[in-house]
Amino acid sequence: MYGIVNKAIEDLVKSNFGEEKWENVKKRSGIDIDYFISSEPYDDTITYLLAGAVSDEMNMPLKDVLQAFGEWWVLKTGKEKYGGLMEAGGENLKEFLINLPVFHNRIMLMYPKLTPPEFKISDIKENSVHVHYFSKRQGLKEFVRGLLYGLGKMYKTPVTIELIACRESGNKHEVFVVSW
Amino acid sequence: MSSNCFSFKKDQFNRLFPFYILVNNRFAIESCGISLQKLAKSNINQSFSTCFKITRPEMDVVDFESIKATHGQLITLQLQSGHKTILRGQFEFLDDTNQLLFVGSPWFYSMEQVNESNLKLSDFANHDPLIDLLHILKTQEIVNADLKQLVATINSQKNTLKNNEEKYRNIIENMNLGLLEVDVNENITYANHSFCEMSGYTIKELEGKRASEIFATGESTKVLQEKTKNREKGIADAYEIEVIDKQGNGKWWLISGAPRYNDKGDLVGSIGIHLDITEQKQLERELIEAKVQAEHLAKTKEAFLANMSHEIRTPMNAIMGMSRQLAKTDLLPQQKFYLDVIHSASDNLLVIINDILDLSKVEAGKLSFESIGFESNSIAERVIRVLAHKAEEKGLKLQNSYFDTRIAPVLIGDPYRLNQVLFNLIGNSIKFTEKGFVDLSLELIEDNEFSQLIKIKVKDTGIGMDEDFVKNLFEKFSQENESITRKYGGTGLGMSICKNLVELMGGEIRAESIKGKGTTIILKIEFKKGNYTDVPEENIVQFNSNFLQGRKILITDDNELNRLVASIILQNYGAQIVEAFNGQQAIEVLKKQHFDVILMDIQMPVMNGIEATKALRQSKCNVPIIALTAAAIKGERQKCISAGMSDYITKPFKEEVLLKIIDKLLKNNNVEARHLKNEESKEELLFDLTELEDISRGNKDFILKMLNIFCEQTPLILHEMLDAYKQGQYEKMGAMAHKMKPSIDNLKIMPLKQIIRDIELLGRENKHSAQLPIMLQQTESILQEVFVQLKKYKS
């Protein structure tokens, strides 16, 4: 993953728990990197180790850590750094979600070293859509759930999210129903 | 669609080119893209020039024909309304319809501009890379921000490093320890201020010079070379070294050195922290000298005590011996009374002398204790029996009110010392009690499998003591006040000696006293349990008045009184007495006459008893020799036996003790005496030739040759070793010890086996130790003794 992801985890921990906790997380994860460069690709293992260390250090289940990180990614990292792009994503949550596949496909081209997930949208209804999440990475579906919650908050639209299919249960990808 | 012509439906064309403009030949806008309409509403049918301005290329006249002529060029247009957005694209002339078609898209510098223009991502064609470009620009901004933050972090770390470096540099510069860095060739690369002060050189004088060439002398050069080798092996260590400073003054430095590596891990030299220990070294030398002096003083004290003992005991011997002889004669009652007073006074004087000697022995750690069986009830009985008359004289009741029947009949310990304590305690009680009683009780406190803890109480109804004095009762020279001293006499040493004796027997002693009511002294001592076989037999010998009839005894003593006492005693039993005044005279007499026994005083002018005995034994004289010594200190007996004497007796001696020893020696005859002599000398030998005998398979010539080599070479090596020590050349000293070691092992000089190895080790480590001078002294004295013994052996 690009450094911006690890940097976001760092910001999340530092902003909510302080510098000292971040040092503890790094020590616990065994990662000796002082500074993550946003545009530099890092091994995925680093991100997983950091997430695991946050979970251990904060005594939080990993899925909660990933979900919190998903929300943080949208509301802090996305809005602060790519606020314009996020805003241009759509007039409302529904429009943004419908545009999401195109959005990610553009990103894939811009970041040649990235293996971005792919999204598809189906079952578009007045108050809900199905978000299909395809990824080569395992164990990040809770991060996606956090992203979707974060988007709901960004558009000030309370959402409910239901995972109706996932790889663990034999499906080829995850399917979330996002309702508002 | 033919190969030369495309046709799209309007909505298809709008998805592909949402910002298109179609201009007719009247130069009016005929239609425009769906997204462009968001930027500029109601443009249809309006003149192109009203709605748009061509900003590139520069055109003098803007009309249909001039735009048509821009075919193939990049065109930028600016909207004349709203946000005046710039569009970037190109015009194409459509022949069939005589129209101009502009295909392009807005040119934004940021996504914020896109949003301000009310456009969304879906307003752009998917093939339009503008959004991607904006994203990349945004990312570039973020990366720049990252870089700025990174640079700030690096700068902050750089400042911290710089500050730390300055701090440590200041510490190094100003610390009182000298710091020296050298490269792999020992050339000095850095020295701090303290080092320059320590050595007397400036940094310029030091840089590039070899440390060993500037500071080291003699042995220390080798030490430094060895340390360089250690650093090459990655070894860090600390050592002391003698050096010279710029002014040529001798200094001692304690150096803690370590190898120095560069970033790649290659050895680039070494670094040493230096502490000037010249003063400590001086102090150490002074301390050693002080210790030697203190030991010398202790020896002097010991000798003084021996002399004092001798000086006092000699006349005492005469007084007591002669008064005993006088008591055997017929005396008038008045004369008998006077004689009793003399007896009593001399007994008291002897107690005082013994007290003083005991105390000094305790202090010197030279008091020895027996570990023999004794009958427990005899302890109380004896002391009561002996002191009963003293109690009776004062009208006191002296009793043993309680003796615990559970106390083992035989205990193991030192009955003589226990007696001494009880005599002292009960004697004191009698002395300080005017009426009432003195009571002794013995109680079992703990009965263990192999031992018993006994509580002994001495209680009196005497004058008692103040509480404050009780606390100091066991201190030396402690008497309650001067009037007590005047009235009751004594040295004030008795209780201190008792305490020491009890504690040396592993026990404890305490006192309880009430002024005017009395005192109780309580002892607790643990004794091992024994049985009757552990009790040494006491030979009670009755001597006939003629048991020395026909025996000729030589009495050697410079003191006439002593000779007189011994002569009278021995003549009373029929012995023929010859007297000699010193050792030399005794040897002369012995050349001419045969004797059955020789009594030999130790301290005599011309030739003392030890020298005389050695000379006699060397001249094959086997006559039993009894040492008569007044020096009642530990080691004296061993000295006499080592010299070849057959037995030993302390003045003033009791008649029966002297007779018993003479009787024993006469019965054992000369063979026994000779055997004793050989045994003693064998025990005393400091070397053992069995190893050499094994090596040489009993070849005596070889052994003698080896001994000759040892006697010739070892003194030289010893001298060199001692000399090296004095020069502070410890490594050389160690090397000499190493050289000497095989000979010491071959001759099995056991007392030196470990010492010589310790010296060798200290030398190898180039270390000094406070024990070193003592070890060297021991080596020297033991070797001197070995040389003497070997000389005798060879002859």
Q: How far is A82 from chain B (nearest CA, A)?
A: 7
- Which of B15, B122, B151 is most worth mutating to test chain A (most A CB atoms within 10 A of its CB)? B122
The tokens describing A93, both together, are 């949550």
Alpha-carbon gap, residue A89 to A96, rounded angstroms: 5
**Chain A to chain B Cβ contacts (< 8 Å):** 69
- pLDDT at position A135 over 50: yes
Alpha-carbon gap, residue B391 to B435, rounded angstroms: 10
Residue linked to tokens 């020296």 = B180
Provide the percentage of residues in chain B whose pLDDT is more than 90: 28
Residues of chain A neighbouring B122 (CB-CB closer than 8 A): 90, 95, 99, 102
Residue linked to tokens 């690890």 = A6
Q: Are B703 and B696 in contact (CB under 8 A)?
A: yes
Task: Report residue B564's pLDDT band, with 50, 70 and 90 as the boundaries.
Answer: confident
Per-residue confidence (pLDDT) for residue B478, from 0 to 100 = 59
Q: How far is B40 from chain A (nearest CA, A)?
A: 19
Verify whether the Cβ–Cβ distance A87 to B139 is below 8 Å: no
Per-residue confidence (pLDDT) for residue B539, from 0 to 100 = 52
Nearest to A84 among B115, B132, B150 (CB): B115
Residues of chain A neighbouring B135 (CB-CB closer than 8 A): 82, 85, 106-107, 110
Q: pLDDT digits over B533-551, tens only?
A: 777 765 555 677 778 888 8
Nearest to B120 among A39, A81, A91 (CB): A91
Q: pLDDT digits over B698-723, tens only?
A: 777 778 888 888 888 888 889 889 88
Query: Would an 8 Å CB–CB cutoff place B110 in contact with chain A?
Result: yes
Q: Which residues are CB-contacts of B383 (< 8 A; sequence separation ≥ 6)?
A: B419, B422, B423, B426, B440
Geometric angle at alpha carbon A44, from A39 and A49, rounded to 5°: 115
Q: Which of the pair, B461 or B652, is modelled with greater confidence?
A: B461
Q: How far is A36 from chain B (nearest CA, A)?
A: 9
- pLDDT at position A104 over 70: yes
Average pLDDT in chain B? 84
Mapping DSSP to helix (H, G, I), strand (E, B) and coil, where does residue B551 land?
Answer: coil
Nearest to A37 among B120, B126, B146 (CB): B146
Verify whether the Cβ–Cβ distance B120 to A89 is below 8 Å: yes
Verify whether the Cβ–Cβ distance A82 to B146 is below 8 Å: no
Query: How many CB atoms neighbour CB B669 within 10 A?
Result: 12
* Stretch B424-440: mean pLDDT: 91
Q: pLDDT digits over B765-786, tens only?
A: 887 776 777 778 778 878 888 8
Helix or strand (DSSP H, E) at B419: helix B415-431
Provide the percentage of residues in chain B whose pLDDT is more than 70: 90
Verify whether the Cβ–Cβ distance B122 to A85 is below 8 Å: no
Residue in chain B lying closest to A38 (CA): B143
Q: pLDDT digits over B20-57, tens only?
A: 999 999 999 999 999 999 888 767 888 999 899 999 88
- pLDDT at position B311 over 80: no
Q: For the residues of B648-696, what is the DSSP string, one character each? A: EEESSPPHHHHHHHHHHHHHHHHHHHHHHHHHHHHHH-S---HHHHHHH
- pLDDT at position B123 over 80: yes
Q: Are A85 and A107 in contact (CB under 8 A)?
A: no
Mapping DSSP to helix (H, G, I), strand (E, B) and coil, where does residue B214 land?
Answer: helix
Q: Annotate B731-792 with three-state secondary structure.
A: HHHHHHHHHHHHHHHHCCCHHHHHHHHHHHHHHHCCCCCCCHHHHHHHHHHHHHHHHHHHHH
Task: Report residue B222's pLDDT band, with 50, 70 and 90 as the boundaries.
Answer: confident
Nearest to A88 among B111, B142, B149 (CB): B111
Cα–Cα distance list, B495 to B310, B420, B462, B477 (Å): 25, 11, 16, 9
Verify whether the Cβ–Cβ distance B134 to A84 is below 8 Å: yes
Lowest mean pLDDT among B38-47, B365-374, B584-593: B365-374
With b for 16 or more beta-carbon neighbours within 10 A and e for fewer, the B606-622 pattern comes to ebbbbbbbbbbbeeebb
Query: How many CB atoms neighbour CB A86 within 10 A?
Result: 21
Verify whether the Cβ–Cβ distance A89 to B121 is below 8 Å: yes
Residue A148: how many CA atoms within 13 Å on its side-chain side? 28
Residue in chain A lying closest to B151 (CA): A35
Verify whether the Cβ–Cβ distance B139 to A39 is below 8 Å: yes
Alpha-carbon gap, residue A86 to B747, rounded angstroms: 99
Q: Which residues are CB-contacts of B244 (< 8 A; sequence separation ≥ 6)?
A: B215, B217, B250, B251
Task: Report residue B748's pLDDT band, with 50, 70 and 90 as the boundaries.
Answer: confident
Per-residue confidence (pLDDT) for residue B273, from 0 to 100 = 92
Q: pLDDT digits over A10-24, tens only?
A: 999 999 889 999 999
Q: How far is A178 from chain B (nearest CA, A)?
A: 21
Residue B477 backbone class (left: φ over 0; alpha: ψ -120 to 50; beta: rest): left
Verify whether the Cβ–Cβ distance B138 to A38 is below 8 Å: no
Residues of chain A neighbouring B138 (CB-CB closer than 8 A): 81-82, 84-85
* Stretch B233-256: mean pLDDT: 91
Residue linked to tokens 């189906």 = A122
Nearest to B111 among A84, A90, A103 (CB): A84
Verify whether the Cβ–Cβ distance B143 to A90 is below 8 Å: no
Q: How far is B106 from chain A (nearest CA, A)?
A: 15
Q: Which residues are CB-contacts of B483 (< 8 A; sequence separation ≥ 6)?
A: none
Nearest to B153 among A35, A87, A90 (CB): A35
Cα–Cα distance list, A18 to A15, B153, B312, B361, B761 (Å): 6, 18, 90, 75, 58
Q: pLDDT digits over B492-506, tens only?
A: 677 888 888 899 889
Task: Report residue B681's pLDDT band, with 50, 70 and 90 as the boundaries.
Answer: very low
- pLDDT at position B483 over 70: no
Q: How far is B155 from chain A (nearest CA, A)?
A: 14
Note the pTM of the prediction, 2 decimals. 0.44
Q: How far is B264 from chain A (nearest CA, A)?
A: 21
Verify whether the Cβ–Cβ distance B120 to A107 is below 8 Å: no
* Stretch B417-435: mean pLDDT: 89
Q: Are B609 and B558 in contact (CB under 8 A)?
A: no
Residues of chain B neighbouring A89 (CB-CB closer than 8 A): 120-121
Q: Is B95 exposed, middle or buried (0-12, 13-18, 19+ CB in 10 A)?
A: exposed
Verify whether the Cβ–Cβ distance B138 to A85 is below 8 Å: yes
Residue in chain B lying closest to A35 (CA): B150
Task: Report residue B634's pLDDT band, with 50, 70 and 90 as the boundaries.
Answer: low
Sheet strand arrangement including B29-32: B29-32, B21-23, B99-106, B86-94, B75-79, B52-56
Alpha-carbon gap, residue B784 to B705, rounded angstroms: 19
* Stretch B385-405: mean pLDDT: 87
Verify whether the Cβ–Cβ distance B121 to A88 is below 8 Å: yes
- pLDDT at position B470 over 50: yes
Q: For the residues of B325-359, what is the DSSP string, one character each? A: HHHTS---HHHHHHHHHHHHHHHHHHHHHHHHHHH
Alpha-carbon gap, residue B177 to A56, rounded angstroms: 48
Instruction: Return the amino acid letter for A121.
Output: I
The tokens describing B547, both together, are 């048991």
**B residues 150..189 contacting A (CB < 8 A):** 150, 153
Alpha-carbon gap, residue B438 to B446, rounded angstroms: 25
ipTM computed for the complex? 0.81
Verify whether the Cβ–Cβ distance A88 to B115 is below 8 Å: yes
Per-residue confidence (pLDDT) for residue B793, from 0 to 100 = 79
Q: pLDDT digits over B165-204, tens only?
A: 888 888 877 778 899 999 988 899 999 888 999 999 999 9
The tokens describing B347, both together, are 């007994």
Nearest to A85 among B111, B146, B149 (CB): B111
Alpha-carbon gap, residue B478 to B620, rounded angstroms: 54
Q: Which of the pair, B757 or B537, is modelled with greater confidence?
A: B757
How many residues in chain A? Answer: 180
Residues of chain A neighbouring B149 (CB-CB closer than 8 A): 35
Alpha-carbon gap, residue B458 to A149, rounded angstroms: 98
